[in-house]
Amino acid sequence: MSGGGDDEFLWLMSLSDLMILLFIFFVVLFSFTYKKVKNVDMSRIAEIMRTGKASETPAEKLQKKMEEFTKQEHLDQMIEVVREEDTVRLEIKDKVLFASGDYIPTEGGVIVLAKLSKVLETVPKEFQIGIEGHTDDVPLRGASIRDNWELAARRSLAVFYVMNVTPELLKRIVVMAYGDQRPLVPNRDPAGNSLPENQAKNRRVTVRIFQL
């Protein structure tokens, strides 16, 4: 038999040291990530720990509202609602608003934008609203349009002017143009051949509802 005594419990001391080191490690890890966690996230974590479930975030509520709006107005085939964390995007196909290569909204487009303007008035004040013009990568030159950058800019501005938002909402709106620099899907295959279906998806106006 072994000598016994305190030697029998040395493994407990080693285990205790290991647990302390692990605790220190997680404390340090949390300290690095704490600043990246928003107050609303901390509140949700506390709520989950207290009740076992979390209530909807403002962005989740907004997403539902926009999805209900597109269905009620029969626009769900024209406007795609996408949520990414605390941002909700309304992706409007260009053919819904404009004729090919044009930046003046069609009669149907004006009707859609009037409906969209009304629902944007209900967006909570903590959200900002961006109107973004996007194109595909096909070069565009003409008498009235210099290139895709100008087309994207004119389209986003046209949407802004037609919506004719209230002064209160005006304070929270920004108008942007990205040309072909932020496609949803690749415009071309690896060999450089055009992908018409993808290019059609990339020609759009995005209404981005986000929190700073």
Which residues are CB-contacts of 47 (< 8 A; sequence separation ≥ 6)? 53, 54, 55
Length of the chain, in residues: 212
135: left (phi over 0), alpha (psi -120 to 50) or beta: beta
Residue with token string 């909402």: 169
Arithmetic mean of pLDDT, 69-81 = 94
Kindly tell me if the per-residue pLDDT of 16 is higher than 80.
no
Confidence bin at 24 (pLDDT 50/70/90): confident
Identify the pLDDT of residue 21.
72
- What is the tens place of the pLDDT at every residue in 155-191? 999 999 999 999 999 999 999 999 999 999 999 999 9
Name residue 125's beta-bridge partners: none
Identify the pLDDT of residue 23.
72
Residue extents of the structural domains in the chain: 5-51, 58-210
Pairing of strands 128-134, 173-179: parallel
Chain-centre distance for alpha carbon 74: 22
Arithmetic mean of pLDDT, 141-166 = 90
Domain 58-210, CATH among 3.30.930.10, 3.30.1330.60, 3.40.390.10, 3.30.450.40: 3.30.1330.60
Query: Exposed, middle or buried: residue 102 (CB in 10 Å: 0-12, 13-18, 19+)?
Result: middle
Residue with token string 């900002």: 128
Return d(Cα 32, Cα 43) in angstroms, integer.
19
How much is the pTM?
0.74
- What is the tens place of the pLDDT at every residue in 28-70? 666 555 555 555 555 655 655 566 566 788 999 999 999 999 9
CA angle 100–69–133, rounded 5-degree value: 30
Eight-class DSSP state of 35: T
Return d(Cα 39, Cα 51) in angstroms, integer.
18
